[in-house]
Chains A and B, each alone.
Chain A
Amino acid sequence: MLEAHDLACLKGDRLLFRGLALRLQAGGLLRVAGPNGVGKTSLLRLVTGLALPETGEVRWRGVGIRRDREALHRELLYLGHAPALNDLLTPLENLRFACAAAGDDADEQSCVTALARIGLENQLDLPARVLSQGQRRRVGLARLFLSARRPLWVLDEPFTALDAAAVAELATTLSDHCDAGGMVMLTTHQDAPFARAPEVLDVGGYAC
């Protein structure tokens, strides 16, 4: 489903890693591991097509993503380091915009439900700038509940700034998504309580 082979990543003029291959099947949960600065985020950005690899190719459903970027982007949910929140908008406005911009039809009611599920029912109408780090992160994560039809989730440090209960709940959500035939690729520094152990890809093993 999602495959990559011989990936090399150039950052500035430094080669971060090379010869990296990966394969993610339906139902797969892949954890990208490695020390800081080894290129975990860069790898995720290569997979999403936001960045181009120096060598190698990423394929989605057998087709190179450079050739058909839209095919991947229709089925991809990527949550990066930055939570993509505008401080002047409320969580609800931010979430509705994020869905509409991605091309999803999410009505107000389902957005409210998603925010409530992630524990933000009291913050719906506050401007995002007054939210805490954990709450900001949750607004982004609320998109998970609205993106079930996007099979591939690529998440950069989704557990950062979340409390223990939220971590457990997020792990369950991700496991459920995989059980339903989805795919999750994520980076994390903490051990999350997944129902089954994720596959681990150590980027450090391909470092230059």
Chain B
Amino acid sequence: MLSAFLAVLRRDLLLAWRGRADVLVTLAFFVIVVCLFPFGVGAETNLLRTIAPGVLWVAALLACLLSLHRLFAQDHGDGTLEQLLLSSEPAVLWVTAKVLAFWLTTGLPVVAVAPVLGMLLDLEQGAYPVLVISLALGTPILALLGAVGAALTLGLRGGGMLLALLVLPLFVPVLIFGAGAVEAELSGTGATAHLLLLGGGLAGALALAPWACAAALRVSTE
């Protein structure tokens, strides 16, 4: 039952390793977007400290968005996607494997680097664990929702902008609860409620998004 799941996961991780420059580009993008903010709003420490959770979250969201087009484009181009759709195993499983591999190679590095960028913005010490947990719970939701958009815009001209228009409104709740978690921790009200909601959102996205994504892939390859 899991042979397609494991095969896709193993292959996509191997491909990410062989093309590791792509992963580094995503990370570099994340870093540079965060570094732009002091130039834009001024380098006043208090201000930066206030906006740090939002800036980190928006930058992580954009980094995820910009790598989404990679998710299916290669497989679509070389015919692998057709073969996967003809697999005798349920499409939901290998779609989940692809999204998982995508998150491991895009979301996880972002989660790992975020605390370092938090230091650049002088984020308070106590907020780091919540920042990491909120990103670890939130970025998989972004990947799952984004996968549906990536599947729908497969092979379209101007697909990148269209993908952004489709998925950014859907990302808003994740951003609210993710950045909100860090702010709540800073303001002393505690981040538990936010993190629980993010966890619930992740469970919901995990249950629904792969179905929508598999349906979208069938539609897009027809």
A178 sits at the interface (CB 8 A): no
A82 sits at the interface (CB 8 A): yes
Question: Are B222's CB and A52's CB within 8 A?
Answer: yes
A168 sits at the interface (CB 8 A): no
Question: Are B87's CB and A101's CB within 8 A?
Answer: yes
Q: Select one of A50, A86, A102, A105 contacting B78, CB under 8 A.
A: A86
A112 sits at the interface (CB 8 A): no
Residues of A within 8 A of B78 (CB): 82-87
Question: Are B87's CB and A103's CB within 8 A?
Answer: yes
Does more than half of chain A's interface fall in helix, strand or loop, or is it mixed?
A: loop
Question: Are A84's CB and B15's CB within 8 A?
Answer: no
> Can you name the residue of chain A whose Cβ is closest to the Cβ of B77?
A82
Residues of B within 8 A of A73 (CB): 86-88
Question: Are A105's CB and B3's CB within 8 A?
Answer: yes
The smallest C-beta distance from A25 to any residue of chain B, in angstroms, reads 22
Total chain A interface residues with beta-carbon distance under 8 A = 29
Q: Select one of A48, A97, A100 contacting B86, CB under 8 A.
A: A48
The smallest C-beta distance from A6 to any residue of chain B, in angstroms, reads 19
Residues of A within 8 A of B88 (CB): 70, 73-74, 102-103
B24 sits at the interface (CB 8 A): no
Interface centre among B3, B74, B94 (most CB of A within 10 A): B3
Q: List 11 A-B contacts (CB under 8 A).
A: A73-B87, A78-B86, A82-B78, A82-B82, A85-B78, A88-B15, A97-B7, A101-B83, A102-B86, A102-B88, A103-B87
Q: Which of B77-97 contact A (CB under 8 A)?
A: 77-80, 82-89, 94
Question: Are A82's CB and B79's CB within 8 A?
Answer: yes
Residues of A within 8 A of B203 (CB): none
CA distance A132 to B89 in the complex (A): 32
Residues of B within 8 A of A89 (CB): 11, 14-15, 18
A80 sits at the interface (CB 8 A): yes
Given A70-B88, A88-B15, A89-B11, A78 contacting B6 (CB threshold 8 A): no
Residues of B within 8 A of A52 (CB): 222
CA distance A85 to B86 in the complex (A): 16
Q: Which of A74-133 contact B (CB under 8 A)?
A: 74, 76, 78, 80-89, 93, 96-98, 100-103, 105
Residues of A within 8 A of B11 (CB): 86, 89, 93, 97
CA distance A157 to B19 in the complex (A): 31
The smallest C-beta distance from B173 to any residue of chain A, in angstroms, reads 34
B192 sits at the interface (CB 8 A): no
Residues of A within 8 A of B221 (CB): 50
The smallest C-beta distance from A88 to any residue of chain B, in angstroms, reads 4
Residues of B within 8 A of A98 (CB): 83
B8 sits at the interface (CB 8 A): yes
Question: Are A100's CB and B79's CB within 8 A?
Answer: no
CA distance A95 to B146 in the complex (A): 29
Q: Which of B45-92 contact A (CB under 8 A)?
A: 74, 77-80, 82-89
> Can you name the residue of chain A whose Cβ is closest to the Cβ of B90?
A70
Interface centre among A73, A76, A83, A88 (most CB of B within 10 A): A88
Given A76-B86, A93-B14, A84 contacting B80 (CB threshold 8 A): yes
Q: Which of B2-47 contact A (CB under 8 A)?
A: 3-4, 6-8, 11, 14-15, 18-19
CA distance A98 to B75 in the complex (A): 12
